[in-house]
Structure formats: structure tokens, C-alpha cells
Amino acid sequence: MNDNDGAKLNDGLPKDDALTWSIRMRGEVTESLQGEFEQWLAESPRHRQAYDRYSRVMAQAEILKSPRQTDEASSAKLTRRASKRWLMVGAAAAAVIVFAITISASGSPIPRPGVVLSARAAEPLVTERGEIRSFRLDDGSTATLDSDTRVEVSISPDARHLRVAQGRARMNVVNDVRPFRVVAGQGIVTTNDGVVDVMINGDREVVVELISGKADLASTTRVVPAATPPRPLQGGTAVIYRADDQQVRLTARKSGKSSLEWPSGWAVHRSIALNELISEANRYAPVPIIVEDSNLAKREISGRFKINDSEMFLKHIAGLFDLTIHRRPDGIYLRSQ
């Protein structure tokens, strides 16, 4: 990072739009988004200058939050891994740096020039397939990541920011005057004290559910005239929008589809088609679980299922429907006896 980056934050560059574009271009870049971005750059040479500055600051000033460990062995393993990555970052990342990140789309101010935080190894929070893991953030909040999830976190003295790049995360946000903002696709959830689930599913839909507290959802897009204004979320009701839509268009998720117990590895359903339940379990299975009988796959089922334990799940389903389990390299097949 250039030594002058932190010293010239108030030099008249269009920081709000530049910071917004820095956030948006770190996600999935569609053809339409790329065209919109290039059009914005072409409007003024200062746009490129501002974008380059804040993209560089954002890339170098993200803070890795330490995961909550359950035993000394896993803690020691994490320490060795973090130390190795620290060395790879180099001496520049070991120095204190100006943290100039904000979610400018909602008007949060940039931290004052001279405010510094200790740099750490800049890397996202990530879980592997089949893993559910909780991370304690520096502000005291907790982020629980579902299987195969990637989340980027930045916390400054003035703002708290998290971006869900893929998968599902539950944010248990502690009360703080700093807003906590969660970006997913082109939407942004804002809360000061609440519990929120955010998921990007396989169909590139973003599902947002307020578990408790208060939160609102708006669009990160500033250049679309009809950008979605902040909309209060209703507790216990999930909304859906397309991750790649430039303008967030909200629809309500069907009732009965909530899986509030997923951080514990369990799914509870009053009524769900077997193929939908299998789809949930396949988030954790090493190879796909497949029901060969299409009519059976459509049958409704209810109960409590340990979906992150593939062996337990398979035995449960096989017992309920009198099925046999056939294992092949390309999947686990459930067949009628």
C-alpha cells in the first residue's frame, strides 16, 4: 500500500462510489456488472484513481478473526497455520495500517485519518465440505459458517462489515453503535443487534432470514435509479432475491422451509419432499446421495434429521422407507428392496 493512501482520504476523490464498487467487484462479476463498472470508470479519470486506492486498501486491510476452538489440539493447529501464513504475508502486513473500509452505500463515514489497527494475515473465513464452524469476531459477535462457505470480514472503529461469498452463515450480532452490515450478491443487510441467516444457494439465490432482533435489507447498487430502499425484515420470515440482479427484487420464501437448527447439524421439517431433504443432506455428504425411484423422491416426510452425519442420515432414511444402500464412486444410491 502506498504510504500516502491513509494520509489523503479527504482529498476530494469520489470515495462513496469508489468504495461501493470496491465491494461489488470483489464478488461475482457478471457481464452486465462489468459493463456498468467500465461505464462508471469512463466517466472521469478520478473514478479510476479512487477505485484503485480503495480497492488496494480493502485488499490489504481485512482482518482475520480467530475461530473459536473446542480443544487445545485444534487451537495449536490453527496457531501453526496462522503463523505460517503470517510469514507469507511478509513484513509489510505486520506493520500497523490505516483501516479505511466502510460500506459507503449506506452512508457510513470513513475512519478518521491516522486511526490504525494491527494488521493480521488477510484471509477469509472458510469451511470445508461437511464442516460447520463458529468464529468469534473482534467485536464480540459470532459468525457460524455452514458447509463449504466463504465469508470475508472487516471491522473498523466506525463500522462492521461481512460479505458472504458462498454458502450459508449465521451472524449473532452483539449490540453496538457501529452498524453491522452483511453483503450478499447485490443486497446488504444492516443490523445493530440481531441474529440473521444469509445463504447463497446452488441456484444463485440469496436467502435472508431474521431469527431475532431487528434488521433491514437494501440494495448495494447506487447507479440504478430504482435501487431498493431499506426494507425492515420480519422475524421468522425469509426473503429471497437473485444474487446477480443489479436491483434487488424480494420475494417471500415458502412457509415451512426454515432450518433454524442447521448450526447444530440438524434439520427439522413438518413436511418436506424426500428429494428436498436429500438435497440438504448433500451439502455435507462426501459423494451425492441419490434416490433412484422418482416417485419415492417426491414423497413427503417429516421429522428431525441429522443431515451433517451422512451415515446416520442414510440409515434413518433407509429404515423409514425400507431401502437398501448401494455405494458407488459417483454416489450413494438408495433403492427399494
What local confidence, expressed as pLDDT, does residue 100 receive?
Answer: 33
Pick from 10-14, 154-158, 214-218, 301-305: least confident: 10-14
pLDDT exceeds cutoff 80 at 7: no
Instruction: State which H helix or E strand residue 36 sits in.
Output: helix 31-42
- For residues 94 and 75, is the Cβ–Cβ distance under 8 A? no
Percentage of residues of the chain with pLDDT beyond 90: 45
State which of 37-41, 106-110, 188-192 shows the largest mean pLDDT: 188-192
Is 0.85 topped by the overall pTM?
no
Fold of 15-252: Jelly Rolls (2.60.120)
277 has a pLDDT exceeding 80? yes
Name the most confidently modeled range: 22-26, 41-45, 119-123, 331-335. Answer: 331-335
Look at residue 26 in the predicted model and tell me its pLDDT: 67
Average pLDDT over residues 222-250: 75
Phi, psi of 89 (to 5 degrees): -65, -40
Give phi and psi for 67, each to the nearest 5: -70, 150
Beta bridge mates, 172 = 142, 195
Indicate the Cα dihedral angle 169, 196, 164, 35, nearest 10°: 150
Lowest mean pLDDT among 138-152, 182-196, 240-254, 284-298: 240-254
Strands 160-173 and 180-184: parallel
The answer, yes or no, to whether residue 118 has pLDDT greater than 50, is no
For the chain, residues classed under CATH 3.55.50.30 are: 265-336
Structure confidence at residue 254 as a pLDDT band (50, 70, 90): low
For position 188, what pLDDT does the model report? 92
Whether the per-residue pLDDT at 302 is higher than 70: the answer is yes
- Lookup: cell for 17: 462510489
* pLDDT at residue 28, as a whole number: 62
pLDDT of residue 142: 94
Calculate the dihedral angle through the C-alpha atoms of 168, 205, 192, 211, rounding to the nearest 10 degrees: -70
Q: What is the mean pLDDT of residues 193-210?
A: 92
Whether the per-residue pLDDT at 107 is higher than 50: the answer is no
Half-sphere exposure of 168 (CA within 13 A, CB side): 24
Class of the domain covering 265-336: alpha beta
Here the cell at position 36 is 456498468
Contact 228, 247 (CB under 8 A): yes
Of 311 and 227, the one with more pLDDT: 311
Instruction: For residue 302, give the 3-state DSSP assignment.
Output: strand
Within the chain, all domains assigned CATH 2.60.120.1440 are found at 15-252
For residue range 163-180, list pLDDT tens digits in order.
Answer: 999 999 999 999 999 999
